[in-house]
A and B are shown apart, each in its own frame.
Chain A
């Protein structure tokens, strides 16, 4: 199994970075936005090169091959720029112009000696064969196109174990079939649309289909392409949209490296409603039907609510008396967002940068998982200055433009959306309540008992696959080795007699936490080696670690193994679990370059660890 991405500590002891330089780099990342003008973006590419010469580095590094039958020079440079904005350093290989298929098919191509973690297939409609010349040929043509690309993905993945991002095909702005373009089986537009659906349906877990067609449509199809620059220089789209295009590709790669944001933090006054609740009162704020501005605020709330419904966490950060801040949520009939949509509600008079840290801590996520939306430029500035890890989009004056201002950044890109994402708000909120219970209960054991926790521990099955791969792709903090195994890797483990896969699902009296833990181990010699162990930080210190360890020990004993072996690979984010194995009674057996190996004999002298979870265990 290969581990496609090396994560490494940001700071390096030999040359401790100058804080002012680190700050400047963080602020530079925040200036890289998808609405950058092309010339400005090229200037930023030069600035990036200069910062790198001065030692600027990102938290994560990766290798990306860009393959296209169009010119990729600008696209590749901008892809690098937007990955850097997400704290990723990419080494980029641009395949020679026009050799997309050959590079994949030829095992001796430079693509394979480069060994990318990601292949970006920057296809356009020109890479798709002609539309079927008769309606009855359509089905076969769609199938053939889908089959060809799938075969290329599989070939590359088989040889490299890499992940793939491929564009779907952008329909042209013209419609030779007129209004029948979208419905007639032999129309190019219909053909492209059908192939795009087929690609989406065929894509395995390790392939992201980038919706280039949707991007072209959102820009406007006549504006998207600039035929002059295609004919002159084979640019894939109008130059003014190259930054936007590169940004979209970068967020898809970033999502697979765990760089997506998780939480939208909202200011209240003049962000969710017009006016100031503390001054204007419940009846005085502008929100709701009958007033154009009031409707614009409702529309923005609907957008936030829709994000929450698919798994984005919402938080509030407002300079207000808490009772005032809560009042509209409780009493205003036009409020779309309600208190139970908000996982963390902070209303006080502290500076907002400090509040960002509080929210991150409360939700147990990194500062770099937050997006902060505030109409007030001064508040945006203080957060940008003092908590530069937080994404702070520019917010226009007109509330009618708020949705676009946030949406264009694609902060919350997900590799897949599982049914558990739909319940996430409830889970985080129940968690906050749990924490309150904890502060009321003196004895921690009593508290854990009072949670009435029930766990299901078993192998990764079809139902567990999506969520498991998602967690493997994005968990950073409670992650012992940060190995980003793909769905295909997991499939191979499931088929191997030596590997054991485990997931834990946990419910308690406050609700269903869903699938919160993934662990992968393999038997070798006399030991069970734990390759991967990650958990959602929501369930820290609840005893899940003990329950899972007991499960592994029982499995190992049954196979006649004598020891469990654990491994810790440090990254910038997982210091939380540095002492994980020590805490479970393991002893350190080896250490090199920060990595440590731990062992636990499980002979007669070892007894299962205590916990308060009633576990259903499936082998």
Chain B
């Protein structure tokens, strides 16, 4: 789990060009400076490439919704990779 969190954090730092970003499973998109709908897509695109997974249209929009956080993102990736989070 924490290895995946580290990997996701690395991707998101690259996307935002900010090495200071720290994430926990409870961090939500709103808490990350500049994570708007455009950046959300940039994050999704980078994650798909890094983890060789494909998010569905519904997942992409849901992951930005109220109540979702980094933990939700980790769950989706882990499920696609076929391992328990």
Contact of B15 among A39, A228, A231, A240 (CB under 8 A): A39
Majority-rule SS of B interface residues: helix
Contacts of A229 in B (CB 8 A): 41
Within 8 A of B (CB), among A22-57: 37-39, 42-43, 46
Contacts of A239 in B (CB 8 A): 41, 45
Bound Cα distance from A37 to B55, whole angstroms:
18
Query: Is B17 within 8 A of A43, CB to CB?
Result: yes
Binary interface profile of B, 26-67, with partner A (CB < 8 Å = 1, else 0)?
A: 000000000001100110011001000001110011000000
Which residue of chain B has the shortest Cβ distance to A73 in the bound complex?
Answer: B38
Query: Is B57 within 8 A of A39, CB to CB?
Result: no
Nearest CB on A from B58, distance (A)? 10
Size of B's binding interface in residues, CB under 8 A: 15
Nearest CB on A from B55, distance (A)? 8
Size of A's binding interface in residues, CB under 8 A: 16
Bound Cα distance from A39 to B50, whole angstroms:
10
Contacts of A228 in B (CB 8 A): 55-57, 60
A232 in contact with B49 given A39-B15, A43-B14, A43-B17 (CB within 8 Å): no
Bound Cα distance from A43 to B46, whole angstroms:
12
Query: Is B41 within 8 A of A39, CB to CB?
Result: no
Query: Is A42 within 8 A of B42, CB to CB?
Result: yes
Contacts of B45 in A (CB 8 A): 38-39, 239-240
Bound Cα distance from A239 to B61, whole angstroms:
16
Contacts of A74 in B (CB 8 A): 38
Contacts of A39 in B (CB 8 A): 14-15, 42, 45-46, 49
Binary interface profile of B, 1-33, with partner A (CB < 8 Å = 1, else 0)?
A: 000000000000011010000000000000000
Nearest CB on A from B16, distance (A)? 9
Contacts of A43 in B (CB 8 A): 14, 17
Nearest CB on A from B39, distance (A)? 10
Contact of A232 among B14, B17, B57 (CB under 8 A): B57
Query: Is A231 within 8 A of B42, CB to CB?
Result: no
Which residue of chain A has the shortest Cβ distance to B46 in the bound complex?
Answer: A39
A231 in contact with B57 given A43-B14, A46-B17, A240-B45 (CB within 8 Å): yes
Between-chain CB contacts (< 8 Å), 19 pairs: A37-B49, A38-B46, A39-B14, A39-B15, A39-B42, A39-B49, A43-B14, A228-B55, A228-B57, A228-B60, A229-B41, A231-B57, A232-B41, A232-B60, A232-B61, A233-B38, A233-B41, A239-B41, A239-B45
Contacts from A to B (Cβ < 8 Å):
37-39, 42-43, 46, 73-74, 228-229, 231-233, 235, 239-240
The 5 A-B pairs at the shortest CB distance, nearest first, are namely A39-B46, A228-B57, A239-B45, A46-B17, A38-B45
